[in-house]
Amino acid sequence: MRQPNPIIGNSPPMREIRKLIETIADSTATVLISGDSGTGKELVAQALHVQSSRADANFVPLNCAAIPKELMESELFGHRKGAFTGALADRVGRFELAHGGTLFLDEIGDLSLDMQVKLLRVLQERMVDPVGSSRPVEVDVRVIAATHRDLEEEIAAGRFREDLYYRLNVLPVRTPPLRERGDDIALLLRHYADKFAHKGKPISFSPEFLEALTAYDWPGNVRELSNLVHRFSTLFSGQYLTLSVVPSAMLPKGLQKLQQERAGEETPAPVAPAAISQAPESADVLHMFALGEPGHASAPPREERNHVEDIIMLAQGGPVLPPEGLSLKEKMAQIERAFIEQALDRSAGNVSKTARLLNLQRTTLIEKIDKYRLRSA
């Protein structure tokens, strides 16, 4: 039984790839997948395998850049006991392991020229010669190769054989970079947030943060996005994230610059994400809105999430600005400290009760108590 396509994304480039995979999956012709690092080339190879008539046999991957040149022949074709120093037993090569199935040769552009010759012979004759054996072994393998290099440039530079290139490039597939798949970013963020969720609750992103992530260039592609969400899920488990909440050092350089630009704008600070995350229903609505889930309610209006101006007016008896001006940041800090002190007094220094009075998470309150050097029970 054929398994569903594991590729995530509904953008036009990904729909085209899905359609192409369905078309060529059952072919026995070799496939050459090209694309930047982190664009999911192995995922495409796996999809070709599971949708083919070879799905019941092995899918055998091999990264050509990760195997030392001296061991590559044995790795691909196997060896016989005593063939060389250290060959203490027979070893089955990747081609034999993939018999009846699919062999995925990742980073084929890193294969040495002498091994390129031997690989070309195997592709032509469908026979492998294990090192130290006098008898060739017949193999039935579909080969899928992948590379992030421009093989035509490698051919011109004398680093890749032209005849092998044409033997591999019977069915070409290109995996698009993430910058060409902007429509998929929200879907990928949701997928990896669910995958890396700690204690069952995934992180979510504010609309502003989601907009920044969508506009980001993603030089590391899906792998970079996955790593970033894993980082956030570990550091901010279950939280609703805004661009200002995440420390600059935890962001890619492209987003650090945007964060600095936003920090310089005279905009009121939002209510702490921790306060929002304590209300499950609100958190769910914000999660659906931020990740662009269709058919659900939008996020609460900005006024409902931003009470800073109201707090200042309440504390001062009205929006009175001194003639010489003031530091809004310092004034807000003073007001925040005053309210925390009052709440601590009312709760007799109990941090948990204080957090409930201020609608904050306990850990966030502790950070603020330390910041303002306040005393608690």
Q: pLDDT (tens digit, 9 = 90+) per residue, 179-201?
A: 999 999 999 999 999 999 977 78
Both tokens assigned to 114? 């002498």
Q: pLDDT (tens digit, 9 = 90+) per residue, 56-80?
A: 999 999 999 999 988 899 999 987 7
Instruction: Walk across the sheet containing 171-174 and list its strands.
Output: 59-63, 102-106, 142-147, 31-34, 171-174
Both tokens assigned to 260? 């600095």
**pLDDT tens-place values along the chain, 377 residues long:** 445 446 899 999 999 999 999 999 999 999 999 999 999 999 999 999 999 999 999 999 999 999 998 889 999 998 777 667 677 788 888 999 999 999 999 999 999 999 999 999 999 999 998 888 778 899 999 999 999 999 999 999 999 999 999 999 999 999 999 999 999 999 999 999 999 997 778 999 999 999 999 999 999 999 999 999 999 999 999 999 998 888 988 999 888 887 787 766 534 444 444 433 333 333 343 344 344 443 333 344 444 444 444 454 444 445 556 667 778 887 788 888 888 988 888 888 888 888 888 988 888 888 888 888 886 55
In this prediction the pTM is 0.67
Number of H helices, E strands in the chain: 18, 9
Q: DSSP secondary-structure letter at 198?
A: B
Q: Where do the H-state alpha helices sit in 266-361?
A: 273-277, 280-290, 302-305, 308-316, 328-346, 351-358
Distance CA 357, CA 111 (A): 64
Distance CA 294, CA 181 (A): 18
Amino acid type, 355: A
Both tokens assigned to 109? 């552009």
Which residues, other chains included, contact 318 with Cβ-Cβ below 8 Å and sequence gap of 6+?
none
Report which of 190, 364, 197, 371 is spatially closest to residue 271, judged by C-alpha positions: 364
Distance CA 163, CA 95 (A): 20
Amino acid type, 172: P
- How remote is the C-alpha of 337 from its chain's centroid? 39
325: how many CB neighbours lie within 10 A of its CB? 7
